[in-house]
């Protein structure tokens, strides 16, 4: 594994996207957060500049770069310290679109993937329900086969981009047990409705919705991949989602640490900068160690994902569990270093802490990651064969 995985092309992408963030996002962060706005115009501008499609095929409007380009986008977006909007952009790009790219027909890719990469259509992934989150097998939303169409009934909860999406990659039950399927669901379909979910702890500038499906007629052409294989498609797609979560958590922790370091040099107490106090110097040293461990862990997971694809689920699950917990700890320490000012909104640390808290819950809770890891450790060979056979 190389020390620096980024090429000159990656560096140019980073520079270009950093300028975009500085011009289009950073000046509006305070307003969007205060007013709980998820700005749709950013989606259009991101698409126009090609930032959604950096790791997608050229024939559908992408740049054809590797997954390290997605890492660049995730890291630079974290620097804006607006986890809500970042979540919506990330949920648009790296939750539903990789599934379409992997198993969609040519017609489906042209109808959904291409306009989504251009920012002309906003996408969402509809899995979580009021009674089924990390337990994907517990999904109750049904798609009844009616011959020439499916009849969809049920509801989804905590869906990012839920009220603003033009289409949803929707997980539905089409049989018993793990017999789930994925549908490309147009939100213009009669019988569909969505309401915004408010009163969130953080991620104020993301769109979160509860979705309702009442006798929604969906054409058979909307089936994504094979019928009844949705559970395995979801398990495969989770790997990329969890990988990006680890990258995002690392970048957020590093940004908070840098703010704490700057504050320690500026803030004085008892006649000297607080950075001269050993207790805070050692705290910062521990934060730096954690950030470096998070980066090493997440970058290694990216390397293994490049080499083996979804079969890298072991290291990805470990990275997701470790990084999302430790990034919260680092940001919490950054707030402590800021003292009373950290508790205020002025330095952005309070927002960072609110937003990062979701990382240990979304894309599979830390507890679910530990359960996955424990099964691999106990019976690694058998479990590995099962995954490779199904993904």
Read off φ and ψ for residue 197, nearest 5 degrees.
-100, 115
Residue 112 CA to residue 168 CA, distance in Å, equals 10
Q: Give the active site residue among 241, 254, 304, 326.
A: 241
Residue 352 CA to residue 335 CA, distance in Å, equals 9
Task: Find all residues with CB under 8 Å of 371, minimum gap 6, and list them.
Answer: none
Using the structure block, give the residue that is written with the tokens 């240990």.
360
Q: Output DSSP code: residue 165.
A: -
> For the residues of 252-265, what is the DSSP string, one character each?
HHHHHHHHHHHHHH
| 326 is an active site residue | no
Buried b (16+ CB within 10 A) or exposed e, 229-245: bbbbbbbbbbbbbbbbb
Token pair of 10 as six digits: 């990656």
Indicate left, alpha or beta for 151 from its phi (over 0: left) and psi (-120 to 50: alpha): beta
> What is the SS3 assignment for 125?
strand
Beta bridge mates, 366:
none
Residue 381 CA to residue 314 CA, distance in Å, equals 12
> What is the SS3 assignment for 235?
helix
Pairing of strands 123-126, 167-173: parallel
CB 252 within 8 A of CB 327: yes
**Which residues are tagged catalytic?**
241
């Amino acid at each position: 594994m190389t020390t620096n995985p980024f090429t000159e092309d990656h560096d140019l992408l980073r520079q270009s996207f950093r300028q975009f963030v500085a011009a289009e996002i950073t000046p509006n962060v305070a307003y969007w957060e205060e007013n709980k706005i998820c700005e749709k115009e950013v989606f259009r501008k991101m698409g126009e500049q090609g930032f959604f499609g950096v790791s997608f095929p050229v024939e559908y409007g992408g740049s054809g770069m590797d997954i390290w380009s997605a890492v660049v986008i995730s890291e630079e977006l974290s620097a804006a310290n607006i986890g809500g909007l970042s979540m919506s952009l990330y949920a648009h790009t790296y939750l539903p679109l990789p599934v379409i790219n992997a198993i969609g027909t040519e017609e489906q890719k042209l109808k959904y993937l291409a306009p989504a990469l251009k920012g002309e259509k906003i996408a969402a992934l509809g899995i979580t329900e009021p009674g089924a989150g990390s337990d994907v097998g517990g999904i109750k939303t049904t798609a009844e086969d009616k011959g020439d169409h499916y009849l969809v009934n049920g509801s989804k909860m905590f869906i990012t981009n839920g009220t603003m999406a033009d289409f949803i990659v929707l997980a539905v039950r089409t049989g018993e047990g793990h017999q789930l399927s994925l549908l490309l669901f147009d939100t213009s379909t009669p019988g569909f409705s969505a309401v915004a979910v408010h009163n969130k702890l953080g991620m104020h500038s993301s769109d979160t919705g509860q979705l309702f499906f009442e006798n929604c007629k969906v054409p058979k052409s909307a089936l994504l991949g094979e019928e009844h294989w949705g559970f395995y498609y979801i398990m495969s797609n989770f790997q990329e989602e969890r990988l990006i979560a680890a990258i995002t958590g690392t970048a957020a922790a590093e940004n908070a640490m840098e703010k704490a370091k700057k504050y320690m040099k500026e803030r004085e107490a008892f006649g000297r900068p607080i950075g001269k106090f050993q207790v805070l110097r050692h705290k910062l040293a521990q934060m730096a160690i954690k950030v470096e461990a998070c980066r090493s862990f997440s970058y290694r997971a990216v390397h293994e994902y490049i080499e083996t694809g979804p079969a890298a689920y072991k290291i990805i699950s470990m990275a997701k569990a470790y990084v999302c917990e430790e990034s919260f700890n680092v940001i919490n320490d950054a707030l402590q270093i800021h003292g009373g000012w950290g508790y205020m909104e002025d330095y952005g640390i309070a927002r960072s802490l609110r937003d990062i808290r979701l990382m240990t819950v979304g894309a599979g809770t830390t507890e679910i990651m530990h359960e996955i890891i424990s099964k691999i450790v106990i019976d690694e060979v058998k479990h590995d064969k099962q995954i490779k056979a199904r993904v």
